[in-house]
């Protein structure tokens, strides 16, 4: 009997020793979880769909953001898509690179799951994002759609959009990447739409210090089919935005599309 009593006493003592350790361990887990939760909820990150942590100079309309006295560009968040207004036309925001001060946009008419039949909704001749920020599409190359009354076979730069794009009766639709001179337009064709693709090589050439780059002779990637052009359009196009020394965003006039 005495042995049983001693055994029970030892077990009871061990339990009393272990209980505070277990309680302390449990409290540590709870405190860590509460700490993580508070950081997440108090971080103030503003996101919309796949576009995370939107920062100044961009602000999501209706979301609290403090950019001080800086000029800002308002973005919208609808159906988990971030929307930017470019020359009074709405584009989806695909990405923002704050380190290099670039924003990537795509026309809402270019659907992800579609084939080459999806067409841009907006014809855009100039790239201007808001009034309080300087933006320029250094690496942007225009894609000009032409409505032609006859077939064009003597101009390799004219890419037939058939069967992707349906033309009206007795008409053919062609796309030209980066037309520079009005003389490139055939008499039987009329320009009816302009979209954009991005060319990183063009941007790097333009931004080289003391560059002797000749814009009028640059051709970049040669496209042999409209399908290839459409694939590039599906990637969206990047635009640069700039901050001057005073912390205010500069405003400059965008360049012309075609040299007359």
Burial 100-134 (b: 16+ CB within 10 A, else e): ebbbbbbbeebeeeeebebbbebebeebbbbeebb
Name which of 127, 260, 258, 141 is nearest 205 in CA terms. Answer: 141
The pair of three-digit structure tokens given for residue 192, joined into one six-digit string: 């009816």
SS3 content of the chain, % helix, strand, coil (to 5): 25, 25, 50
69 CB-near residues (< 8 Å, 6+ apart): 247, 248
3-state secondary structure of 48: strand
Would you give the DSSP letter of residue 177?
E
Q: Cβ(179)–Cβ(233) under 8 Å?
A: no
pLDDT in tens, the chain (260 residues): 445 544 444 444 433 333 333 333 233 323 333 322 222 222 458 899 999 999 988 999 888 788 877 778 889 999 999 999 887 889 999 999 999 889 999 999 997 766 888 999 999 876 666 655 667 778 888 899 999 998 888 888 899 999 999 888 789 999 999 866 656 677 788 888 899 999 888 888 778 776 677 766 676 788 999 999 999 999 999 988 876 545 444 433 333 223 22
The 134-136 sheet, strands edge to edge: 58-60, 73-78, 81-86, 89-97, 102-106, 237-242, 134-136
Q: Domain locations in the chain?
A: 1-42, 58-242
The pair of three-digit structure tokens given for residue 236, joined into one six-digit string: 């969206």
Would you give the DSSP letter of residue 148?
E
Output the pTM of the full model: 0.71
Name which of 135, 119, 232, 254 is nearest 177 in CA terms. Answer: 232
Burial level of 65, CB count in 10 A (0-12/13-18/19+)? middle
Tell me how far the alpha carbon of residue 39 is from its chain's centroid: 28
Measure the N-to-C terminal CA separation of the chain; round to a whole number of Å: 112
Q: Cβ(120)–Cβ(248) under 8 Å?
A: no
Burial 210-220 (b: 16+ CB within 10 A, else e): eeeeeeeeeee
118 CB-near residues (< 8 Å, 6+ apart): 109, 110, 111, 230
- pLDDT, one tens digit per residue, over 111-162 is 776 688 899 999 987 666 665 566 777 888 889 999 999 888 888 889 999 9
19 CB-near residues (< 8 Å, 6+ apart): none
d(CA 187, CA 213): 31
How many of the other CB atoms lie within 10 Å of CB of 190?
13
């Amino acid at each position: 009997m005495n042995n049983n009593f001693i055994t029970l006493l030892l077990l009871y003592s061990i339990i009393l020793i272990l209980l505070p350790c277990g309680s302390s361990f449990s409290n540590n887990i709870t405190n860590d979880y509460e700490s993580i939760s508070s950081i997440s909820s108090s971080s103030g990150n503003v996101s919309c769909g796949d576009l995370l942590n939107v920062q100044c100079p961009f602000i999501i309309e209706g979301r609290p953001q403090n950019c001080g006295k800086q000029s800002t560009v308002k973005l919208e968040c609808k159906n988990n898509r971030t929307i930017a207004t470019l020359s009074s036309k709405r584009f989806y925001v695909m990405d923002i690179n704050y380190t290099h001060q670039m924003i990537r946009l795509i026309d809402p008419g270019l659907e992800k799951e579609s084939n080459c039949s999806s067409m841009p909704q907006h014809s855009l001749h100039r790239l201007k994002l808001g009034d309080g920020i300087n933006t320029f599409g250094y690496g942007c190359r225009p894609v000009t759609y032409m409505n032609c009354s006859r077939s064009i076979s003597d101009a390799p730069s004219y890419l037939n959009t058939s069967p992707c794009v349906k033309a009206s009766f007795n008409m053919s639709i062609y796309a030209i990447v980066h037309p520079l001179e009005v003389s490139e337009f055939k008499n039987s064709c009329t320009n009816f739409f302009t979209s954009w693709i991005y060319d990183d090589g063009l941007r790097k050439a333009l931004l080289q210090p003391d560059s002797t780059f000749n814009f009028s002779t640059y051709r970049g990637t040669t496209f042999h089919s409209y399908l290839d052009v459409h694939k590039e359009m599906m990637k969206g196009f990047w635009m640069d935005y700039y901050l001057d020394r005073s912390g205010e965003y500069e405003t400059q006039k965008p360049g012309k599309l075609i040299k007359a």
